[in-house]
Structure 1
Amino acid sequence: MDAGIPADAIAAARDAVKVHLRAVGTSEDALIAQHAASAMGLCEAFTGQVLIVRSLRQTLAARGAWQRLDQAPVRAISGVAWLAQDGVATPVPAEGHAIDIDARGEGWVRMTGAREGRIAVDYQAGLATDWAGLPPPVAQGVVLLAAHLFEAKGAQPPAVVTALWRPWRRMRLSGERAA
């Protein structure tokens, strides 16, 4: 249940892009918002981090080994449920699983029972609760990329964008860790 980038964050990014472009009026708001949403999505893909906190659900195989959640930084893991063949979710009792959020904000889940199947993990992930809470280099990169998309109509994006985002990029080697 990835709700996508929240509309209020896209609107705030749009407003920041309009300030950067010195755009007045509202005639281009929809297009600038579309570019802002694209820039935020590209930032998430490049950095490997969810920008604005949102609720997510990930389906995993039920395993006894630790499995890393796909999105980060994880703020909370709110539930683990067995998934039946028909998709019906049944909560797993606390003694049936283990969860962890490490110092890097990576979320981990493992099953402690011997049951096979699939599980659904509900969690929240995000760097900030809103646009204003984003680290300035991340927000500035989004603004510059959205402005570039608006003005350049397909030309190569400026290198400064990746320079701003590179310190926030997360690299992953494996999806499992030792018990």
Structure 2
Amino acid sequence: MMLIEETTVPQAVLPVAGLRSHLRLGSGFAEESLQDGLLEGFLRAAMAAIEARIGKALIARDYTWTVERWNDAGQGLPIAPVSAVLQLSIAGRDGVPAVIDPARYRLVQDAVRPVLAPVGSCLPTIPEGGRAVLRLTAGMSPDWGNLPADIAQAAMLLAAHYYEYRDETSLGRGCMPFGVTSLIERYRPVRIGLGAGQ
């Protein structure tokens, strides 16, 4: 199973000026935007860290998911929330893909665990040695301004933390701050079953 991000978050969507203001960096100077590239990098790193913790994409973008086996009765998707399935294709051992008619499957949207469900009894069969390739769009919001306020604040705090401790190399201070973890806690998936407490 492999999930690949096909499109990145556009630079214009990132609140670089907001992070500059949050950090109380100088303004009104000719070199005011000198660190914008650095701040953009910290925002992207903060988003990636939060997405990894909560299993959700923050800003909508396109992904390709490749899998060699799945549950024919309905397959859970590895990222949430999914807003659209763009294309499903299945390739045999020869690697030649065949695009599957969208009338044969449907997206069951869910904030935690979206599902690719069959229309009928089962999803198209993946041949032995073959693979299914699913192109999809996932993300909580198309832009920064429509993210839930607590998630946007958590990303801003974490980006500021990365900026403040950018020269730190020890693990102790490099961990995610408590304020960030408390803001994102309600978005983390609940694990039920054996090993849930581990």
| Deviation, structure 1 residue 172 | 5.4
SS of 1:55 mapped into structure 2:
strand
1:32 aligns with 2:35: no
Corresponding residue to 1:149 among 139, 153, 162: 162
| Deviation, structure 1 residue 87 | 4.2
| Deviation, structure 1 residue 15 | 2.1
In the alignment, which residue of structure 1 is the partner of 2:21? Answer: 19
Cα distance in 2, alignment partners of residues 47 and 32 from structure 1: 23
**Are residues 123 and 15 of structure 1, via their aligned partners in 2, closer, same or farther at CA, if it must alter by over 3 Å?**
same
Q: Which runs of 5+ in 2 are unaligned?
A: 194-198
The AA in structure 1 aligned to 2:79 is Q
| Deviation, structure 1 residue 92 | 1.3
Aligned identity (percent) is: 27
Corresponding residue to 1:100 among 107, 118, 123: 107
SS of 2:134 mapped into structure 1:
strand
C-alpha contact 2:81 2:109 (8 A) present in aligned 1: no
Calculate the TM-score normalised by the size of structure 2: 0.75
Cα distance in 2, alignment partners of residues 31 and 72 from structure 1: 28
Q: Deviations over 1:77-122 (max 9, x none)?
A: 1221012446443201245x42332443533235544552311111
| Deviation, structure 1 residue 4 | 5.0
Cα RMSD after superposing both structures: 2.4
Corresponding residue to 1:45 among 46, 52, 55: 52
Corresponding residue to 1:70 among 45, 58, 78: 78
Q: Structure 2 matches for 1:72-87, cutoff 5 A?
A: 72-85=80-93, 87=95
Q: Deviations over 1:17-52 (max 9, x none)?
A: 111012230121111111111001001011110001
Looking at secondary structure, tell me which structure has more helix per residue.
1
Larger radius of gyration: 2
Question: After the TM superposition, which of the residue ranges 107-116 and 32-41 deviates more from structure 2?
Answer: 107-116
**Structure having greater relative contact order (Cα 8 Å, sep ≥ 6):** 1
Cα distance in 2, alignment partners of residues 134 and 65 from structure 1: 33
- The size of the alignment, in residue pairs, is 172
In the alignment, which residue of structure 2 is the partner of 1:166? Answer: 185
Q: Deviations over 1:123-166 (max 9, x none)?
A: 11100001111111111111111111111233244210111111
In the alignment, which residue of structure 1 is the partner of 2:196? Answer: none
SS of 1:162 mapped into structure 2:
helix
SS of 2:5 mapped into structure 1:
coil
Calculate the TM-score normalised by the size of structure 1: 0.82
1:7 aligns with 2:10: yes
C-alpha contact 2:87 2:102 (8 A) present in aligned 1: no
